[in-house]
Amino acid sequence: MSSDLGFILITTVTAFLSYSTNALLHSGSASHGVSPRDYYLTTDAHWFNQTLDHYSPHDHRKFRQRYYEYLDNFRAPDGPVFMIICGEGPCSGIAKDYMSEALNVKLNRSSDNPWFFFGVSYPGALSAWFRLKFPHLTCGSLASSAVVHAVYDFSAFDQQIAESAGQECKDALQETNKLLEIGLKVNRKAVKALFNATELHVDADFLYLTADAAVMAFQYGNSDKLCVPLVEAKENGGDLVETYSKYVRDHCMKVWGLHVRPYNRKHLRNTVITAESTYRIWWFQVCTELAYFQVAPANNSVRSQQINTEYHLDLCKSLFGKGTYPDVDATNMYYGGHKIAATKIIFTNGSQDPWRHASKQTSSPELPSYIMDCHNCGHGTDLRGCPQSPMVIEGKSNNCSSPDVVNKVRQQMVEHIDLWLSECRGSTRSSK
C-alpha cells in the first residue's frame, strides 16, 4: 500500500455494549502496565451537543457526546474520513489497530470528503445498518464480527463453542458443568466463593457467569488458557471445579476484566444512571429487540441446561416488567438480518467466534464476506489480531496461528475500500 496517506480518523462513542456476553468491562481493569499512548493514536477527547431524542420534534434536550479525531495524515480539503464506531469496551481514544495504521488508500480525490464507516461486534452491525439506511452519506462500511441477524434461541452459539473446543476440552467442560450443578446443591455458598461470586443468589445467574467465562476463551482466541489446564486436570484425576475457578479468577477476572455485577439482578434493576448503567442498557436491547438468547443446545452443550429460553425471559421480566419480549422478527424485517439489502459492506468473521452465526457469512460482489480460519481467530481478528480481549488492543496478525490467512483478508479489505472510495469519488464528480 502507498505511504501517501490522506485520511482523517474520527471515532465516536455509542452506548457501551459488550458483545462477548454479559462480561462488560470497566476502564482500567486490565491495563497490563501499558500506557495509553502505546495503545492509542490520540486520547484527546472532543465534545459536541447531540440531540437526546431524534424521534420527537418537541424534545429539544441535548447531551454532550464525546468523539476523537486524528488529523496527522489528513490531506485537506478532500481526503476521506474514516468513522470508527466505538463499542464493546471503554472508548478512550483512537486505537492503534490494523485499520488505523494500515488503511492507507491512495486516490486522486476531488472536492467532497468521502466517508467510510467501521465497527467491530455490535458497532459492526451499526456500521452495516448505517450503510443500509443512509447509502448517500457513506462510500461503504466494514462490518467486523457484525451481529446483523437477531436470533431468538441462539443455540448455534454454544454449538460453535463445542466445535472450537475440540473433543477433549468439550468433554472436560461438560463434566465441569455437571460438577458445578452438583456442588450448588450440596454447598452453593462454597462453590460460588471459589469464583468470587457469592453475591449471585440465583444459581442460574451464577451458571451463566461460568458459561460466559468459557466463551471468553474461544471468542477472543485464548482457548489454550482454558483447555490446557482443564484437560490436564481431567486426565490426571484433578479437581475440575478448582481448576476452572482458577482460570476464571486468574484470567477472566484479573486479565480480561470479567466482573460479577453484570450478572447480579439486584444491580441490573438499578435505574439510576451511572457509568455501570451500560449493563442494563445492553439487557434492554436484548430483551426488546435482539434476543441472542444463548441457550444450551439439547445435545452437546457446554453450558448448563438451566440456561434456557425460560431463564432469559424470566430475567427480562425481572428487569423490565411483565410483557417484555424481544421482537426479533421485526428487527430482522427492518434491517434485513442475513439478507440485508445493502451494497458495499465488507463482512469479516473469525472461525472460532461463536457470534459469526449472527453475522453475514455468505459472500457476493457487493457484500463480500470473509472467514479467517485459524486456531485463535476470534472476534474482530481482522482489526485486532490474536489473541486479544476487548481491553487489550493488539492489531497485528503475528500472534494468529495462521497469520497469512488474516493478512490475506486484510489485503482484500483494503482492495474493496480502495475501489469503493474511487467509485464514490467518480460518482461525486459526475453529479457536478
305-358 pLDDT, tens per residue? 999 999 999 999 999 999 999 999 999 999 999 999 999 999 999 999 999 999
Tell me whether strands 115-120 and 140-144 are parallel, antiparallel or unpaired. parallel
pTM above 0.85, yes or no: yes
- Cβ neighbors of 432 (< 8 A, separation 6 or more) are none
Q: Which helix (H) or strand (E) holds 370?
A: strand 369-372
Give me the pLDDT at residue 257, please. Answer: 85
Please report the pLDDT score of residue 330 as a whole number.
Answer: 97
| DSSP structural state of residue 197 | -
Q: What's at 78, amino acid-wise?
A: D
pLDDT tens, position by position, 145-168: 999 999 999 999 999 999 999 999
Among 34-48, 50-64, 261-275, 286-300, whose mean pLDDT is lowest? Answer: 34-48
Q: In this predicted structure, what is the pLDDT of residue 68?
A: 86
Asked if residue 21 has pLDDT above 70, the reply is no
Sign of CA dihedral 392, 394, 399, 401: positive
Is the model's pLDDT at 17 over the cut of 50?
no
Side-chain half-sphere exposure of 411, counting CA atoms within 13 A: 7
Cβ-Cβ contacts under 8 Å for 280 (sequence gap 6 or more): 268, 269, 270, 271, 319
User: Could you tell me the three cell numbers for 307?
Assistant: 440456561
> Higher confidence at residue 386 or residue 333?
333
Cα distances (angstroms) measured from residue 342 to each of 234, 335, 401, 428: 49, 10, 33, 19
Return left, alpha or beta for 428; rule: phi > 0 is left, psi -120 to 50 is alpha, else beta. Answer: alpha
Determine what percent of the chain is predicted with pLDDT higher than 90. Answer: 62
Q: Which has the minimum average pLDDT: 126-135, 252-261, 288-297?
A: 252-261
d(CA 375, CA 73): 35
Tell me how far CA of residue 331 lies from CA of 75, 129, 363, in angstroms: 39, 11, 22
Q: Give the number of other Cβ atoms within 10 Å of residue 228's Cβ.
A: 12
SS3 257: coil
- Residue 360's pLDDT is what? 98
Query: Residues 39-50: what's their mean pLDDT?
Result: 82
Is the preceding omega at residue 135 within 30 degrees of 0, hence cis? no
Catalytic residues: 121, 353, 379
What are the Cα distances from residue 218, in Å, to 161, 252, 282?
7, 12, 22
pLDDT reported for residue 89? 61
pLDDT for position 191: 98
CA 129 to CA 127: how far, in whole Å? 6
Is pLDDT larger for residue 67 or for residue 393? 67
364, 385 contact by CB (below 8 A): no
Classify burial at 323, counting beta carbons within 10 Å of its beta carbon; exposed 0-12, middle 13-18, buried 19 or more: exposed
What are the cell numbers at 310? Answer: 425460560
DSSP SS3 for 85:
strand
- Distances from the Cα of 191 to the Cα of 146, 200, 212, 244, 256, angstroms: 36, 11, 17, 11, 22
Output the nine-digit C-alpha cell for 77. Answer: 480539503
Q: Which residue ranges form the domains of the chain, and what is each CATH number? A: 8-149+336-430 (3.40.50.1820), 151-328 (no CATH)
Q: Which helix (H) or strand (E) holds 56?
A: none
Confidence of residue 371 (pLDDT cuts 50, 70, 90): very high
Quickly count: other Cβ atoms within 10 Å of residue 46's Cβ.
12
Q: Which helix (H) or strand (E) holds 361?
A: none
Query: Which residues are 396's β-sheet partners?
Result: 385
Contact between 80 and 6 (Cβ < 8 Å): yes
Instruction: Report which of 339, 300, 304 is spatially closest to residue 162, judged by C-alpha positions.
Output: 300
The mean of the pLDDT values for the chain is 85
Per-residue pLDDT at 275 exceeds 60: yes
Torsion sign over Cα 425, 426, 428, 432: positive
Q: How crowded is residue 361: how many other Cβ atoms within 10 Å of its Cβ? A: 14
Residue type (1 letter), 168? E
Q: What is the pLDDT of residue 214?
A: 96
- Predicted confidence at residue 426, as pLDDT, reads 72
Instruction: For the sheet with 369-372, list strands across it.
Output: 45-51, 62-70, 8-12, 81-85, 115-120, 140-144, 345-350, 369-372
Average pLDDT over residues 34-47: 69
Q: Please tell me the least confidently modeled range out of 95-109, 359-373, 406-420.
A: 95-109
The CA–CA distances, whole Å, from 365 to 27, 360, 405 equal 40, 13, 20
Bridging pattern class, strands 140-144 and 345-350:
parallel
- Contact indicator for 198, 188 with CB cutoff of 8 Å: no
Angle at Cα 142 formed by Cα 394 and Cα 149, nearest 5°?
Answer: 105
- pLDDT at res. 394: 55
| Residue entry with cell 473469525 | 350
Q: Is the pLDDT of residue 236 over 70?
A: yes
